[in-house]
Amino acid sequence: MKTYLAPVNEIEKKWYLVDAENKVLGRLASEIANRLRGKHKPTFCDFIDNGDFVIVTNADKIKLTGNKWNDKMYYRHTGFMGGLKEASAKDLMAKHPTDLLIHAVKGMLPKNKLGAAQLKKLKVYAGSEHPHAAQQPAVLDI
């Protein structure tokens, strides 16, 4: 018996809406990463993008456990000598509230072109409003 491989043009991609209010960052990010990859579908294949679109609202009301607001550090480099910049989770949330969730989900996706394509299907918004009402997203309770 051969394994069924769904053709790319027959893969149905749904839209899901997730409310991140009072959700723990890592647990929410892992569920979102599974939806983006398509691991919840019986036709999952690791080299084909058969995941769904995920819209996340209220990303500014996400929770971190313990003392991670002060202890968790995010690093980036400017490209110049001595250009390592660091910011705590509290500082990053104050400047860019959506980047905390995007960074967590990005770390759980493959580090190749497929992972970049899957990350583009994630739409994160700080407030409760989003411009994707025409796609009629189904509410996903995580």
Tens of pLDDT, residues 35-53: 999 999 998 999 999 999 9
Given a contact cutoff of 8 angstroms between Cβ atoms, the answer to whether 60 and 138 are in contact is no
Domain 14-63+96-139 in CATH: superfamily?
Ribosomal protein L13 (3.90.1180.10)
Distance CA 47, CA 45 (A): 6
Tens of pLDDT, residues 110-133: 999 999 999 999 999 999 999 999
Residue 5 clears pLDDT 90, i.e. is over it = no
Distance CA 118, CA 76 (A): 22
73-106 burial, b at 16+ Cβ within 10 Å, e below that, comes to eeeeeeeeeeeeeebebeebbeeebbbbbbebbb
Q: Tell me the whole-structure pTM to 2 decimals.
A: 0.93
Q: In terms of Cα–Cα distance, which of 16, 8, 2 is closest to 136?
A: 16
